[in-house]
Amino acid sequence: MLSLKPILAKQFAKLIYRKNQKWIDHPVETQQKVFHDLIQAAQHTAFGKDHDFANIRSHSDFVKQVPVRDYEALKSYVERVVSGEENILWSGKPLYFAKTSGTTSGAKYIPITKESMPGHIEAARNAILFYIHETGKSKFVNGKMIFLQGSPIMKEKNGIQIGRLSGIVAHYVPKYLQKNRLPSWETNCIEDWEAKVDAIVEETLPEDMTVISGIPSWVQMYFERLQQKTGKKVGDLFQNFNLFIFGGVNYEPYRAKFENLIGRKVDSIELYPASEGFFAFQDRQHEKGMLLQLDSGIFYEFIKAEEFFDASPERLMLKDVELDVNYVMIVSTNAGLWAYNIGDTVQFTSLRPYRVIVSGRIKHFISAFGEHVIGKEVEQAMEEAVKNTDIRISEFTVAPQINPKEGLPYHEWFIEFENEPEDYTEFARHIDASLQNQNAYYYDLIQGKVLQPLKISKVAKDGFQEYMKSVGKLGGQNKIPRLANDRKIADALEHKIENT
């Protein structure tokens, strides 16, 4: 029987694609309008009055009146909202707080308002519609789709619902997708991640799965459980599975492992969602980077990462950015965040339209010796080292070894292999050569005999999962930092190291 859904999906995709071209073709004007709309809407809030929004006419006025803040610096305002006060950061009260785990401040409460909520939903929807429009592939809408996410169970405080972002979004799945969507509500509410994955395996095995979505490390766990239970490749279990949607981390280090678990290549769409806003999605299958969402009630500023810790770093608008420069992304939003540092660094891969990749975290870097190594560089080094080999990586992280038992200091790479290299020394040499090629500071330190080339520590199977479980961050939206300037994670992994 012919289904109308794929035909209707194509028509809807064409409509949405054309609608979005209006702001894509006029990016600077779109951002100027967003900026002025935000300032006008928040003039009478406590924050707006404290920062004289009534007299802000330009970006330079905004820079003078509103300093860049992280969560800690904004916390006094957020606490007033949490306590039930109205008109503090945005008019009225937020609909939700997305609760996230902060590294220094404990739990963070990020507001989501009735104005900002559509941005989260529409961007996720549009990512799929842009894919349909570009590829013409729409048959997958007849099958089942799974979104590995946090529990949708909410708590309430002073009239505001509190939950994980992915759980909040679960309440907004369109009706036309409800019948196609897995897991069931009951399974989605399971808090224990391992029990949840087992339940998802049972629910999905008999189904015609066509779309699978989630953070790669946790989807990998799901795929492995499927394979353990059946002895089959995921692509054989789900023969119509041809679209993987992911966000949160770079997929490339996982790609070879996934293709082995699936048994074939599948299309993928990268997303850039965060509690603070849905910032970008991959709009083209064969273009690098994700389309920055400029018409979603988010005003963007960018600070060069190398200048970020200066006394007065320059805050650039969209029209001023350049390709391949590492920027800290600053956002002001219709959820009431103002000149807010989300902690991510991005690089532009295209200026027509504006596309970005996430290059790392401003706090996640290694510069124990002045090398300024960032997440993008270690991921690219790993990607180049495994390319055209049988080596498959499950997970990895990097830390400095400042006080080795012998010899010069070095970078220590903790790697959990699915399929390990025959020659570890040669594999390490490939990674190190790529890192030197990308980073002039690292190159100088190696050539100048300040550092010795990196060393690999092989992590036992499931070592990273066990670590995440031990710190209460197994599953959901949690992910391993690619690198750190200290040895907190490295020290926790020490007892999981195996001989190579």
Q: Where are the alpha helices (DSSP H) in 391-462?
A: 424-438, 440-447
Please check whether residues 214 and 340 belong to one and the same domain.
Answer: yes
Look at residue 169 in the predicted model and tell me its pLDDT: 85
Cα 130–Cα 273–Cα 48 angle in degrees, nearest 5: 115
- The phi and psi torsions of 184 (rounded to 5 degrees) equal -65, 165
Q: Where are the alpha helices (DSSP H) in 66-164?
A: 71-82, 117-135
Tokens of 16: 């949405």
Tokens of 420: 């390990």
Please check whether residues 346 and 370 belong to one and the same domain.
Answer: no
56/299 Cα distance (integer angstroms)? 15
Look at residue 102 in the predicted model and tell me its pLDDT: 52
Q: Which of 361, 376, 397 is the last residue of a domain?
A: 361
Nearest to 236 by CA among 215, 266, 214, 257: 266
Please check whether residues 198 and 52 belong to one and the same domain.
Answer: yes
Q: Which of 346, 361, 376 is the last residue of a domain?
A: 361
Please check whether residues 178 and 285 belong to one and the same domain.
Answer: yes
Please check whether residues 316 and 395 belong to one and the same domain.
Answer: no
Look at residue 177 in the predicted model and tell me its pLDDT: 67
Q: Which domain holds residue 191?
A: 1-361
Max CA distance (Å), the chain: 71
Please check whether residues 295 and 392 belong to one and the same domain.
Answer: no
Q: For 389-445, how does the pLDDT look when each residue is reduced to its tens digit (9 = 90+)?
A: 999 999 999 999 998 989 999 999 999 999 999 999 999 999 999 999 998 889 989
To the nearest 10 degrees (0 to 180), the angle between helices 424-438 and 440-447 is 120
350/218 Cα distance (integer angstroms)? 30
Please check whether residues 283 and 412 belong to one and the same domain.
Answer: no
Q: Cβ of 448: how many Cβ atoms within 10 Å?
A: 8
Q: What is the helix, strand, coil percentage profile of the chain, to 5? A: 40, 25, 35
Tokens of 468: 């995440």
Q: How far is CA 333 from CA 24, 82, 364, in A?
A: 19, 18, 24
Q: Which of 361, 383, 414 is the last residue of a domain?
A: 361
245/213 Cα distance (integer angstroms)? 4
Q: Cβ of 144: how many Cβ atoms within 10 Å?
A: 21
- The phi and psi torsions of 228 (rounded to 5 degrees) equal -60, -40
Look at residue 103 in the predicted model and tell me its pLDDT: 44
Please tell me the total count of domains within the chain.
2
Using alpha carbons only, how large is the chain's radius of gyration in Å?
A: 23
Please check whether residues 171 and 26 belong to one and the same domain.
Answer: yes
Please check whether residues 111 and 232 belong to one and the same domain.
Answer: yes
Q: For 137-158, how does the pLDDT look when each residue is reduced to its tens digit (9 = 90+)?
A: 999 999 999 988 778 888 998 9
Nearest to 246 by CA among 224, 275, 267, 263: 267
Look at residue 66 in the predicted model and tell me its pLDDT: 98
Look at residue 478 in the predicted model and tell me its pLDDT: 75
**253 preceded by cis ω (within 30°)?**
no
Token pair 């073709």 in the structure block, residue: 25
CATH number, domain at 200? 3.40.50
Please check whether residues 372 and 337 belong to one and the same domain.
Answer: no
Tokens of 27: 């990016």
Cα 297–Cα 303–Cα 305 angle in degrees, nearest 5: 130
Residue pLDDT tens, the chain, 500 long: 446 789 999 999 999 999 999 999 999 999 999 999 999 999 999 999 999 999 999 999 999 999 999 999 999 999 999 999 999 999 999 999 998 765 444 688 999 999 999 999 999 999 999 999 999 999 999 999 998 877 888 899 899 999 988 888 888 877 766 778 899 889 988 888 888 899 999 999 999 999 999 888 788 889 999 999 999 999 999 999 999 999 877 787 788 889 999 999 999 999 999 999 999 999 999 999 999 999 999 999 999 998 988 889 999 999 999 999 999 999 999 999 999 999 899 999 999 999 999 988 888 888 888 888 988 899 999 999 999 999 999 999 999 999 898 999 999 999 999 999 999 999 999 999 999 999 888 998 999 898 999 999 999 999 999 999 888 877 766 788 899 888 999 999 988 999 87
Please check whether residues 421 and 468 belong to one and the same domain.
Answer: yes
148/210 Cα distance (integer angstroms)? 14
Q: Cβ of 277: how many Cβ atoms within 10 Å?
A: 26
Look at residue 147 in the predicted model and tell me its pLDDT: 86
Nearest to 473 by CA among 458, 489, 459, 484: 489
94/96 Cα distance (integer angstroms)? 5
9/180 Cα distance (integer angstroms)? 14
Residues with Cβ within 8 Å of residue 123, at least 6 apart in sequence = 271, 273, 278, 281, 293, 296
Please check whether residues 354 and 375 belong to one and the same domain.
Answer: no
